[in-house]
Amino acid sequence: MSPTEERPRSFGRRSDLHRITIVHGDDVHAFHVDTRRLIAVAAVIGAFCLAYLGATGWFFVRDELLVDQLGRQVRLERIYEDRVAALRAEIDRINARQLVDQDAFEAKIDDLLTRQTRLGETQAKFTGLIAKVGELGLAVPAAKGPAIAPIGTPLAPPPAKAPEATPLDTERFAAPLRTSWLSPFATPAHAGERRDPSVRIASAERAVASFEETQRAAISGLADLVEGRDRAWSQALGRLGVRVAKPTPTPAPRPSDAVGGPFVPARLDPLARAETAVGRLTDLRGTARRLPLARPLDGDRTVTSEFGVRTDPFLGIGAMHTGLDFRAEVGDPVHVTGPGRVISAGRQGGYGLCVDVDHGNGVVTRYGHLSEITVAAGDSVRSGDRVGFAGSTGRSTGPHLHYETRVAGEAVDPRDWLDAGRTLGF
């Protein structure tokens, strides 16, 4: 038996080819199948199926991943858009706030400029009032506290304990705040330091408020001084029977439909008070200048005999003395005590050489015992003009001046008139 014939012919050996016979009627078909090739084809088909299934699964998974990725991207974009919108809203809010702050700064600057302009106007009026008061012969005491500087004028350094107040410099202070830059500037006290605009505004407001308070106090002091002098002058003239209408100024009323209510007098501001008082004092002074209130002799002369009942120097009995006797030397100039017109100039009995001056409104002054007369009847004289020289003519025991004041023909005490003149500074 050959080696080939000795091998078993059983189906299934891998080393042998498999034969497949297909019979269909008279047709017979035989196929030989190689096991290794069959296994390779099966492996290829299996690998293809696995690859197909893997690819199919990958596509499904990839779609899910893409959808998830797209969703995440959308969410991120929405978050970004929300943040951008929030940032835009914040920027708009900041811009709006800056605009509001700038408007507020400019409003404050306008208010400060208005207040300082008003300070300058008030100061000009106050200076005019002080000049008028000086013309009336009143000494105005120096105001306490820092002086009120004109617009743009730096102030002197304040006391050590007083808070520092920086004057408002319109060119240097207002201009930056009227722009959108709002850039601070360096001050001499802090060289190189940049300050916030609100700090500068607060400093300027304190400075203007300090000026306003100082100015208000000075004007109030002036008003008090002039009103006090007004009362004294009014009382002095009142004792002479002279009455000057006293106005009661009030602020101009505003139109309204008011029909009632309690009466509360309106209070004037200090400047209006001062202006009213100075005007009143000017009227009083004008009235007083037309009255015989000055001194008839130079200097402060001694009165040797008062007005009223006295012992007559010649008879030694009680007699009415109708004037004042001033000590004088022969030749001392005698001055008229107020403006008027000479109605008599010559010898008048016991008065000796005598001058009578009519001052109007029934007021007449008389100058007796003169040694010489320097005026004539009909002459117009002003206060202080010389009417003659002192002497001892007429019924006199020695050199002196007899001075009388008569109202409506009746002799009154000249001392009241001279005291009123002293009060008014004549």
Per residue in 48-74, pLDDT tens? 888 888 877 777 776 677 777 777 888
Distances (CA, A) of 150 to 123, 124, 147, 260, 340: 8, 9, 10, 44, 46
| pLDDT given at position 184 | 41
Under 8 Å between Cβ of 327 and 362: no
- The amino acid at 198: S
Please choose, from the candidates 307, 291, 181, the residue with its C-alpha nearest in 3D space to the C-alpha of residue 237.
Answer: 291
**DSSP secondary structure letters along 91-154:** HHHHHHHHHHHHHHHHHHHHHHHHHHHHHHHHHHHHHHHHHHHHHTTPPPPPPSSS--PPTTPP
Pairing of strands 333-335, 340-347: unpaired
Task: Taking each helix axis as running N to C, give the angle between helix 197-238 and helix 270-289, from 0 to 180 degrees, rounded to the nearest 10.
Answer: 30
Q: Residue 149, class by beta-carbon neighbours within 10 Å (0-12 exposed, 13-18 middle, 19+ buried)? A: middle
Cβ-proximal residues to 259 (8 Å cutoff; 6+ apart), any chain? none
Residue of 235, 243, 327, 340 lying closest to 292 (CA atoms)? 340
Strand partners, 18: 33
Which domains are assigned to the chain?
Answer: 303-423 (2.70.70.10)
Does residue 37 sit in helix, strand or coil?
Answer: helix
Q: Decide the pairing of beta strands 303-305 and 410-412.
A: unpaired
pLDDT reported for residue 165: 38
| Helix segments in 174-302, DSSP class H | 175-177, 197-238, 270-289
Whether 319 and 341 have beta carbons less than 8 Å apart is answered as: no
Distance in angstroms (rounded) separating the CA atoms of residues 114 and 108 = 10
* pLDDT at 16 (0 to 100): 59
For residue range 315-358, list pLDDT tens digits in order.
878 888 999 999 999 999 999 999 999 999 999 999 999 999 99
* Both structure tokens of 33: 């199948």
pLDDT of residue 286: 87
Closest CA to 157 of 126, 188, 202, 114: 188
CA distance 402 to 391: 10
CA dist 154 and 159 (Å) reads: 15
* pLDDT-flagged residues of the chain (< 50): 1-5, 7, 11-14, 143-194, 250, 252
Q: Is 137 left (phi over 0), alpha (psi -120 to 50) or beta?
A: left
Residue 126 pLDDT: 85
